[in-house]
Structures are given as C-alpha cells and as structure tokens.
C-alpha cells in the first residue's frame, strides 16, 4: 500500500496525504479525519527512505570501532546505542578492519551512508594526521566525536571527550610516595598505544619527588599470567621494589599473586595499583586499588554530546576529565 493508493481511495492528491502524514497544514478537518482513518485501517507505514530524500535527513549516527574483542569497546557501544536510540536516532555500527586504508575507507563509508554524525572508538583514530586527511576529504560538515581522547584535529566539526591519563599516572606515583614507597615499578601491557605517554608521565613524577626511584617494564601480556610472569624479572632487577603501578588490572592481580608466592605481603611489603577499575578488583585478595580511566563515562558523555550538537546546542570542542583512584586494600 503506497501513498498513491491512499490518495486514490480518499479522492485526493498524494501531496494532500503527505501533508496529513507529516501533520502539516493545508487540509480540512473533515478530509484530514477521513485520510487518517484510511491510514489506520490499512496499516499504512511511511517509507522512511522516501521521506529522507525529501528532508535530506537520515537520522542515522555512525559508530566506528577498531577492536571487536575489547570488552570496554563492546560495553561502550551498547551504552552509546542506548543514548542514541532514546534521542530518536538510528545506529550504523562498523568494524573498520585492519587494512592499510582501513581508516580512510571507513570514513568514506560513513559519508556514503549519509550519517548525520559519527563517533570514533579505538586507537586507530589516535593517528590524527591520517584522520584529519580522511575527515577533510569525506566528512567536513557533520559532527565527529573522538571517544576517550583528550586531543583532536583542529577542525570545527571535530570534538573530543576523554580523561587525562598523564595526570592520572602522576597521581598514582604521588599516592605510592605518600604511602612511603621509594622503589617504584611501572608495568605496561603489550601493544599499548599510549605507552610513551604513560612511561614519560611516570618518570616525570618520579623525578619530581626526592628519594624516589622508578623502573619501567613494557610489552607485558595483559593477563594474570603475564603479571605473574614478570614478577621474577622485577625481583631480579629491582629486589627492593616496594610499589607497583600496573596499567592493567589483570596484570596487577597477577603481580599480587606472583609477589605473594615469593613471600611478599601486599600491601605490608609492597603496594600495588592497577588501572581500569574493572570487576576483577573486587574478586582478588586483597581487593585491588585501581585507577578508573573514566572510559564508560566518557563514552556516554560522547553520545550525549553528539545528540546535543545535532539538536542545535552549542558545546565545547574538548571535554577532559580526571581519572579517579578507587581505594581498596592493596596500597
């Protein structure tokens, strides 16, 4: 049943039926009621594609992600969808893949789908040089939100929402120092794109506190076994270690059990701080003190930011939050 069929049955033009469907003026009350009764009786459903051609609106928001295995990213995608759907928009979710031109092709695909806004999630989109090139080529005029980032390409349509990981690392070092720890170790997980930022922030904080020494171990598997495995190396290199910052909760838990197996008590002999504030923190013994990266909050705020912009509200181009250390029992 098309709009033309309804118009023929009602004895009016298709444009008159269209005005009734879209609740526009120009149709008498009697004829309006007659058309509305026909629409209801015949269970007419408007053709959204046809309507979009007229209004040039798709009510579609694109979500690009680069890691299908990430628990954080999958949870974030669900949170984003909840916000977007409640705001009256639809979602087009795309995994960008691993090809050489994956970033540019995914941005191009968003343009072809005529999305009204895009949220970008993942480390691939930290390459702002490539990202800006693709956005200027394909998405110059629609709002683009970088999720969980604190920097952005200098484009009027690009926004960033994230947390300051550098300051978060420095706060962790200060917390360990306040506990009296003087021989600190930083453990960074394998493949961490922000590893230089994390290492530099850690060493800067160490240098700024008299009497503190710092040692860094990188490319550790982001698992409990990875944490347990690095303990022996740490104790050989730095036998006096008394404070550890592991930028992954699974690694941190592994180091706790590894240290305990070597006769070290946590937190009496050694303090341990993780990062993520995951549910694992409550499951280990002692319960893990961890830094909340604010990932879930920044994801939800990103979705609200985009829908606000699409509704015509003016918003800041950059939103930066502080990471929060959640105290439990390991410091």
pLDDT-wise least confident of 19-28, 39-48, 300-309: 39-48
Q: Quick one: pLDDT at residue 71?
A: 74
Cβ atoms of 223 and 253 closer than 8 Å: no
- pLDDT higher at 145 or 54: 145
pLDDT above 70 for 52? no
Tell me the per-residue pLDDT of 268-277, one tens digit each, with 9 for 90 and over: 999 999 999 9
Cβ atoms of 243 and 184 closer than 8 Å: yes
Tell me the per-residue pLDDT of 7-30, one tens digit each, with 9 for 90 and over: 889 999 988 988 888 788 889 999
In what helix (H) or strand (E) does residue 196 lie, and over which residues does it extend? helix 195-207
Q: CA-CA distance, 141 to 139, in Å (whole number)?
A: 6
List Cβ neighbours of 78 (8 Å cut-off, separation of 6 or more).
Answer: none
List Cβ neighbours of 88 (8 Å cut-off, separation of 6 or more).
Answer: 59
* CA nearest to 91, candidates 113, 71, 67, 124: 113
Determine if residue 131 is left, alpha or beta; phi over 0 gives left, psi from -120 to 50 gives alpha, anything else beta. Answer: alpha
Q: CA-CA distance, 165 to 163, in Å (whole number)?
A: 6
Determine if residue 212 is left, alpha or beta; phi over 0 gives left, psi from -120 to 50 gives alpha, anything else beta. Answer: beta
Range 3-55: architecture per CATH: Orthogonal Bundle (1.10)
Tokens 């909760």 correspond to what residue?
Answer: 249
CATH number for domain 166-292, candidates 3.40.50.2300, 2.60.40.350, 2.40.128.130, 1.10.10.60: 3.40.50.2300
**Sequence ranges of the domains in the chain:** 3-55, 60-163+296-323, 166-292
Same fold, 3-55 and 60-163+296-323: no
Homologous superfamily (CATH) of 60-163+296-323 is Response regulator (3.40.50.2300)
> Which tokens in the block code for residue 262?
């070597």
- The angle at the Cα of 73, spanning 67 to 79, to the nearest 5 degrees, equals 145
């Amino acid at each position: 049943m098309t709009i033309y069929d309804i118009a023929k049955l009602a004895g009016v033009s298709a444009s008159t039926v269209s005005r009734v469907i879209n609740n526009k003026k120009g149709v008498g009350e009697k004829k309006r009621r007659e058309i509305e009764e026909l629409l209801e009786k015949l269970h007419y459903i408007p053709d959204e594609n046809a309507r979009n051609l007229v209004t040039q609106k798709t009510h579609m928001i694109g979500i690009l992600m680069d890691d299908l295995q990430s628990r954080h990213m999958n949870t974030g995608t669900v949170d984003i969808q909840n916000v977007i759907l409640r705001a009256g928009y639809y979602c087009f979710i795309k995994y960008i893949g691993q090809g050489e031109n994956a970033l540019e092709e995914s941005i191009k695909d968003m343009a072809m789908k005529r999305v009204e806004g895009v949220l970008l999630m993942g480390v691939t989109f930290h390459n702002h040089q490539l990202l800006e090139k693709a956005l200027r080529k394909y998405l110059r005029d629609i709002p683009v939100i970088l999720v969980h980032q604190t920097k952005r390409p200098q484009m009027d349509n690009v926004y960033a929402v994230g947390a300051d990981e550098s300051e978060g690392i420095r706060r962790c070092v200060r917390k360990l120092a306040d506990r009296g720890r003087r021989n600190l170790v930083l453990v960074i997980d394998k493949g961490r794109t922000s590893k230089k930022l994390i290492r530099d922030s850690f060493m800067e904080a160490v240098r700024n506190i008299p009497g503190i020494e710092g040692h860094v171990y990188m490319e550790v598997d982001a698992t409990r076994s990875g944490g347990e495995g690095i303990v022996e190396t740490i104790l050989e290199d730095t036998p006096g270690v008394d404070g550890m910052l592991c930028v992954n909760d699974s690694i941190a838990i592994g180091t706790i059990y590894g240290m305990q197996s070597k006769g070290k008590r946590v937190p009496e002999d050694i303090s341990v701080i993780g990062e993520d504030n995951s549910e694992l923190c409550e499951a280990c013994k002692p319960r893990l003190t961890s830094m909340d990266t604010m990932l879930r909050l920044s994801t939800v705020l990103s979705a609200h930011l985009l829908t606000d912009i699409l509704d015509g509200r003016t918003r800041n181009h950059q939103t930066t939050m502080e990471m929060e250390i959640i105290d439990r029992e390991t410091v």
